[in-house]
Structure 1
Amino acid sequence: MTKPPLALYLAAPRGFCAGVDRAIKIVEMALRKWGAPVYVRHEIVHNKFVVDRLREQGAVFVEELEDCPDDRPVIFSAHGVPKAVPAQAQARNMIYVDATCPLVSKVHIEAERHHEAGLQIIMIGHSGHPETVGTMGQLPPGEVLLVETVEDVAKVEVRDPSKLAFVTQTTLSIDDTAGIVAALRAQFPQIIGPHKEDICYATTNRQEAVKAMAPKIDAMLVVGAPNSSNSRRLVEVASRAGCSYAQLVQRATEIDWRAIDGISSIGITAGASAPEELVDEVIATLRTRYDVTVTEVETATENVEFKVPRALREPA
């Protein structure tokens, strides 16, 4: 039977960012240096496929430091941790490696600098997300206030409206954040913002590629995990940019075939913690049903690389 034609538009850039790549390398190098088991506090990145593969190599994923023995190395995830966590590890004389993305660390440093200048900080982020918890945990309670929406801005209670700064979670939607920033500036005209945008280059680039693809396609598949903030934002960005159907899939097995029945064009992208092999799997699965023609939509070139900590570059 003849397969129906399908024009497939592939976002570039997509998938792993430099911070995710570095975090995964840190776990792999720690396993080579110290042997298994190596403990990891929280998922190293938000992707089940990546986590399961590292687990097979000997990584043990735990929720809290209390779940780790004193005599084995522990790695802190790419999302960052509150200051109390490394302090606790030091008190227990543990070997620990911090895999926090350097762009998240930049936000931590920013928050501390504002605090030292006597400013209270408003963080734009998602409640309960590990990155938000980590950033807010850099400073004493009450020094960082969280807002998630424009509506939250009207309700936030600050100590002194003339002594405020704001920071943002790095994986948010650029458009959503712009609205919240505008509301903050309207309500608190003296508020100080970041010197450079907190939303990371990879989040921005992936969202821009989706916006460029959306008018060309009938449907969009975003390869990523449901607990991945940047992946979920890509689905939202696609919908807002005019794509009539957008779905988040962890693996090809999750594609909703009924929802894309009768389409002639589809876009594929991947969140910053989704490996390329999962994108390849989705494309291969589409080829079993369609006569696929692939066009890459490139909106930016990425050549960022972050070094792993010195402790892992030195011999055991």
Structure 2
Amino acid sequence: MSDSSDENDSQYVLYRDRPEWKNVTPLKQDDADEPVVAIDYTEAFVDCFDYFRAILKNKEISERALELTQTAAHLNPANYTVWQYRRDILKGLDKDLNEELDYIETVILKQTKNYQVWHHRKVIVEWLKDPSKEKYLTEAVLTKDAKNYHAWQHRQWVIKTFKLFDGELDYVDCLITDDVRNNSAWNQRYFIINNTTGFTEEVLKREIDYTLLHIKIVTENESAWNYLRGLLLHAKEGLSKNKRVSDFCEELYASGNRSPFLLAVIVDMCCEVASDGAGDTRYTVERAKELCGELMTKYDKVRANYWQHMIETMDNVGKKGTEDEGSSVN
């Protein structure tokens, strides 16, 4: 489909000057007598949407209406009504939906962060029941913007809906290798495992080793630390009792590393041990409070209020522990 909707093109003809539209009375936008903010639309925009409102009111299903929606979408690609009506016309005319896929691909590559264009694509793919081009398209977008939320959302939808999990971990690994801080790639890794093998003991061991290796590369990488926390939610032993993780953290701490994410994990280990009332003796209420103080004053000042809250929380945990000991003696 050619795009004849460029209002800056010297060849562009307003709809009111097109012979094939003479039988349509344009419908003006109702902005009331005294609009609070009068929008300064271009002449082409006003002309196009006056005719769009007219055919929408008349529910016209025709080739010219389809062409008009293309112009309207070009002028305002975020307009939900335009895309919905375009889908109604496509169905009404029984159009070749593969052509529509080609068209919306060109639009998406220019409007990669527009929800409506991705939604239109999703509906067309659902109608066709053909996801064969979707991973390629999302990869093209992610090559330019590896953290594009809309592309990732569409990719997850198509992978889960059509069971296209094969090769996805390898793809994600390439993205993490290129940028270890790519939070979207870490999230996709979790998504794939959670929807395929699940976090079995074998998978957890592999993923913990993988994550610790990447934390070593960049210790102040919140994405990898968050992924590690997510993994340990599935581990039977919890956060503090996984010897591989606790030893790794202690070795990192002993080396002089003071990444706020490392310190935060150690604080959580202390909280876990204090709450359980038993565990690794390295993780105490006193140590947690000391680390919270350092985070609050030196390593994570932005979240000072949170760390102050954690100190108060640990105080309460400590008091409860003392009361419990007293009760057991009595």
In the superposition, the TM-score normalised over structure 1's length comes to 0.25
Higher helix proportion (structure 1 or 2): 2
Structure having greater relative contact order (Cα 8 Å, sep ≥ 6)? 1
Higher strand residue share:
1
Structure number with larger C-alpha Rg: 2
